[in-house]
């Protein structure tokens, strides 16, 4: 798919004119955005005549990359989740249109209103000119996660998600590890540790499943949008908390355990105040170990896209080099005879 082709540009404008009940839609600017190893994102600005979106509409068109991750949602499914989050008051880009007809631009796609800011994890973590007061930002992110977790199987129906009783994250990653068809001893060790230390399950909520620095946008003032909903599903709330605080998503800022930007105290405070739940450090520790196992498996899968599938992109090959350092973190957190500890390191 390429919006540089006149045929695709015209087809996209025609589709949006119908979707937005407009008299005319004209594409006035477009370019492919950087990043997006799993999804492909395009900046696209439109002049709209007539209808509820009349005027200049600045958007991102989101579609599949040439090769994706098997557990990623379709664009239509992600659009449904994004719409539910938007309606629940989560700070997300406004969803504007969804197209499942591949005849329009060659792939399914969604259109969302563009939000300003920077998302690159390394830059957000290290550039203190972004995000405003970092403890305020960290607390705000805790509150945003609580709003996501307010969506439960009793409040929302997503027919494309596995029922909560079938959404066993640990069992799923055992299956994915088997699918790698190569020995990964540190990951096997970590999964055994998780099996021995798992606590009774919590009531399920909607998990973002990739809530971390790098998947939200900030400007100089603070948070502008939470991105990338392609992995959302039912699960235990502490799983999202552990993913955000895991060492692998601190981008070198080891002394800032909440996403490489702030303190656990601020993150937990924002979450607890907005959700009414109390954060359990032992559960967070469990899910931090799990986060490293999950990321290690994904990194191996991404490496396979380069080594076995011939996808020659820099993002893919660099991710494929990450498993060793992640496996070190798994071993560091799971010493022999070691069980759950308070996650305060």
Under 8 Å CB-to-CB from 342, ≥6 apart: which residues? 281, 282, 285
121-333: same fold as 6-113? no
In this predicted model, what pLDDT tens digit does every residue of 324-333 receive, in sequence order? 899 999 999 9
CATH architecture of the domain with range 121-333: Alpha-Beta Complex (3.90)
Where in the chain are the domains? 6-113, 121-333
304-336 burial, b at 16+ Cβ within 10 Å, e below that, comes to: bbbeeeebeeebbeebbebbeebbebbeebbee
pLDDT in tens, 32-52: 887 655 678 999 999 999 999
List pLDDT tens digits, range 169-220. Answer: 788 888 888 888 888 999 999 999 999 999 999 999 999 999 999 999 999 9
Calculate mean pLDDT across residues 221-227. Answer: 97
Query: Does domain 6-113 correspond to CATH entry 3.30.200?
Result: yes
Between CA 92 and CA 112 the distance in angstroms is 9
């Amino acid at each position: 798919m390429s919006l540089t082709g006149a045929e695709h540009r015209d087809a996209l404008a025609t589709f949006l004119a119908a979707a937005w009940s407009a008299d005319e839609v004209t594409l006035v600017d477009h370019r492919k955005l950087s990043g997006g190893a799993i999804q492909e994102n395009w900046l696209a600005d439109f002049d709209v005549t007539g209808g509820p979106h009349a005027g200049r509409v600045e958007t991102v068109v989101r579609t599949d990359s040439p090769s994706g991750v098997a557990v990623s949602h379709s664009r239509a499914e992600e659009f449904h989740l994004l719409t539910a989050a938007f309606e629940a008051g989560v700070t997300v880009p406004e969803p504007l249109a969804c197209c499942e007809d591949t005849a329009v631009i060659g792939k399914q796609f969604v259109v969302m209103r563009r939000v300003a800011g920077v998302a690159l994890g390394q830059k957000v973590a290290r550039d203190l000119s972004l995000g405003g007061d970092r403890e305020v930002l960290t607390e705000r992110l805790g509150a945003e996660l609580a709003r996501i977790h307010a969506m439960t199987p009793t409040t929302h129906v997503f027919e494309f998600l596995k029922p909560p009783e079938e959404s066993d994250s640990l069992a799923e990653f055992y299956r994915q590890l088997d699918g790698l068809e190569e020995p990964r001893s540190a990951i096997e060790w970590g999964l055994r540790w998780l099996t021995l230390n798992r606590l009774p399950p919590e009531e399920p909520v909607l998990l973002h499943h990739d809530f971390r620095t790098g998947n939200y946008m900030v400007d100089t003032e603070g948070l502008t949008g939470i991105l990338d909903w392609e992995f959302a599903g039912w699960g235990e709330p502490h799983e999202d908390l552990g993913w955000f605080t895991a060492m692998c998503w601190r981008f070198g800022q080891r002394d800032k355990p909440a996403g490489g930007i702030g303190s656990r105290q601020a993150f937990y405070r924002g979450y607890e105040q907005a959700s009414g739940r109390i954060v359990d450090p032992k559960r967070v520790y469990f899910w931090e170990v799990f986060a490293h196992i999950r990321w290690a498996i994904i990194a191996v899968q991404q490496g396979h896209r380069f080594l076995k599938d011939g996808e020659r992109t820099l993002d893919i090959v660099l991710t494929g080099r990450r498993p060793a350092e992640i496996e070190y973190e798994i071993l560091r957190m799971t010493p022999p005879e070691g069980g759950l500890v308070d996650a305060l390191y």
